[in-house]
Amino acid sequence: MLSQTSRRGAVALATLFASAGCAVSFDGYTLDERAAAGSAGAGTGVAGRGGAATGGGSAGATLAGKGGAAGTAGTGGLGGTSGNAGASGGSGGSPAGSAGATMGGGAGAGGAGAGGAGAGGAGAGGAGTAGAGGAGAGGAGTAGAGGAGAGGAGTAGAGGAGAGGAGAGGAGTAGAGGAGAGGDAGAGGAGAGGAAGGPLCPTNLAGPELLAVETSSGKTYCIDATEVLQIHYKAFLDSNEGTNTRAGCGSNATFAPSNVDGGSGCDPTDFTPTTKAKYPVRCVDWCDADAYCRWTGKRLCGAVGGGDVPVASFADASVSQWFNACSAKGAQRYPYSDTFSDIACNTLLGMSNTASAGFYSTCEGSVPGLFDMSGNVGEWEDSCTGTGAPFDKCSVRGGDFNSTNTQAPSAACDSAKDGASATASYKERRDYAAQAIGFRCCFDP
C-alpha cells in the first residue's frame, strides 16, 4: 500500500502530465485521464492496488476537471480510500458527473464503479456509491462487498468493513463478518451470552450445602459440603420422623445420638446442638444416618447412579460416590493431595476431638468448598456386608481425629496406611454408634 507521502508524490507527478492526456505509472500505480462529454478533465482519477484515490478535491484541484457538466471518468485501477476535499487528486463538484467502472470520476452525484473508489467519491455534498472494495468520499456513501462509504452513513457489505467502516459521522452497519466503525455488528459477530441454566444440585434441601461432583466418565452427582452438623440433626429429631424401615434397621428404636459409652466413647456432652451447632453430629449408627439422609430428600452416599457400593469396590472411583469425591476421581490418596500432611486436617496431631465444619481450610477436597473428608469424624457409607441384619458390617470412611497415615484404618481415602495396598475399607456394625463416627449425604440429580 502507498504511504501518504508516496500518494502525494504520485499526485504531484500526475499533475505535470495531466495536460498532455497521458498515463503515468509509479510502481504499478497508474494515473489516467479520460476525457468525456464534460469540460476540462472531468473524471481524472488516481488509483493504485491497495492504495487510495487521493482527495475529494473541489473544482480546479490538480487532478480534477473543472466541473464540466455530464463529465464521465475513464476506467482505471483499483481505488482506495478517499481523501479530504481540497487535497490533490479528486473530482470537481459538478452536479451531473458520474464515476467510471473502476476510477472515481470527478462529479457531484457520481458513484464509484465495481472494484474501485472514485477519487473524492461524491462531489461536494453529493451521494457517492462505492463498488466492490471501493468507497464514496463524501455524502451518504454505500459500501459494496468489502467496502464502506467514507462519509455520511456508510453501510458495510458482505465480507468485511471497508475503509473506516462507517462513514465519517454516520452510522455504519457491519455486513457478514465485518463491522463499520461505530456500527452495529452483522452476521458473524458475537451474540449476547445466553441465560445460565439452573443449579445442578438443589438448594432447598435440609442439611449442608450440596456440591456437584463429576466422575472420570462424566457422570455427575451431588455431595454434602461438610459432615452433617449437630444443628442439622436436631431439626431432624424435632420432626419426629419415626423409625427407619430400611432392611436391617427394624430394631432401631430411636434416632437420638447415643449417650451411653459402652466402649464407644459417647456421653451426653457429645450432642449439644445449642453450644456446638456447627460441629459434626456423632454417636449415631448407620440406621440413624440413613434415616436422616432420606428425611432430607438425599441418601447416604453409596454407588454412583444409585444403590449401595459392593464392599469390594470401596476404592473404585467409578463406583463409590464417597471415594470418588475424596480422591479426586481416584487420582490421589488424600482429599488435598497424594501426600499425607499431619496438619492439613483434624487428624492425630490436631485437636484431639472434633472441630467445627471447615475449621481446617487446608482440608479441602477435590471440589472447592468440600471439607473434612479426612479426619474429624469417620463417615458412614451405604456399603455393607449384608442387607438384613443389625450386625451387618458397613464401611466407615476417611478416618477421624485419632487417625494418621501409618496405621490402618488411616486418614487416607482408601483407609490404607501409606505404603500398603488397600484390601478393604474400615467397617463397623450397622447398629454401632461411636464418638468418632458421623456421616454426610449425597444426592442424585
Cβ atoms within 10 Å of 169's Cβ, excluding its own? 9
Burial (CB count <10 Å: 0-12, 13-18, 19+), residue 56: buried
Find the mean pLDDT for residues 152-157: 35
pLDDT digits (tens, 9 = 90+) for 312-335: 999 999 999 999 999 999 999 999
pLDDT digits (tens, 9 = 90+) for 35-51: 333 333 333 333 333 33
Distances (CA, A) of 55 to 50, 101, 123, 153, 165: 15, 18, 11, 19, 18
Give me the torsion for CA of 84, 89, 92, 95, rounded to 10°.
-70
The confidence score (pLDDT) of residue 123 equals 32
| pLDDT confidence tier of residue 129, bands split at 50, 70 and 90 | very low
Lowest mean per-residue pLDDT among 178-187, 244-253, 299-308: 178-187
| Length of the chain, in residues | 445
The confidence score (pLDDT) of residue 317 equals 97
pLDDT digits (tens, 9 = 90+) for 377-418: 999 999 999 878 889 999 999 999 999 999 988 999 999 999
Burial (CB count <10 Å: 0-12, 13-18, 19+), residue 292: buried
Quick one: which of 310, 327, 409, 352 has its CA closest to 319?
A: 310
Domain ranges of the chain: 1-139, 200-445
Q: What are the φ/ψ torsions at residue 15 (nearest 5 degrees)?
A: -65, -40
Question: What SS3 string covers the chain?
Answer: CCCHHHHHHHHHHHHHHHCCCCCEEECCEEEECCCCCCCCCCCCEECCCCCCCCCCCCCCCCCCCCCCCCCECCCCCCCCCCCCCCCCCCCCCCCCCECCCCCECCCCCCCCCCCCCECCCCCCCCCCCCCCCCCCCCCCCCCCCCCCCCEECCECCCCCCCCCCCCEECCCECCCCCCCCCCECCCCCCCCCCCCCCCCCCCCCCCCCEEEEECCCCCEEEEECCCCEHHHHHHHHHCCCCCCCCCCCCCCCCCCCCCCCCCCCCCHHHCCCCCCCCCECCCCCHHHHHHHHHHHCCEECCECCCCCCCHHHCCCCCCEHHHHHHCCCCCCCCCCCCCCCCCCCCCCCCCCCCCCCCCCCCCECCCCCCECCCCCCEEEEEEECCCCCCCCEEEEECCCCCCCCCCCCCCCCCCCCCCCCCCCCCEEECCCCCCCEECCEEECC
Burial (CB count <10 Å: 0-12, 13-18, 19+), residue 230: buried
Q: Is 385 in contact with 371 (CB distance < 8 Å)?
A: no
Find the mean pLDDT for residues 187-194: 39
The confidence score (pLDDT) of residue 260 equals 79
The confidence score (pLDDT) of residue 228 equals 98
The confidence score (pLDDT) of residue 95 equals 34
The confidence score (pLDDT) of residue 422 equals 83
pLDDT digits (tens, 9 = 90+) for 254-283: 999 998 776 688 999 999 999 999 999 999
Find the mean pLDDT for residues 234-249: 88
The confidence score (pLDDT) of residue 199 equals 64
Q: Is 158 in contact with 172 (CB distance < 8 Å)?
A: no
Quick one: which of 334, 317, 293 has its CA closest to 444?
A: 293
Q: State the fold for domain 200-445.
A: paralog of FGE (formylglycine-generating enzyme) (3.90.1580)
* Mean model confidence pLDDT for the chain: 67
| pLDDT confidence tier of residue 437, bands split at 50, 70 and 90 | very high
- How far apart CA 133 and CA 113 sit, in angstroms, is 10
The confidence score (pLDDT) of residue 338 equals 95
pLDDT digits (tens, 9 = 90+) for 8-26: 343 333 332 333 333 333 3
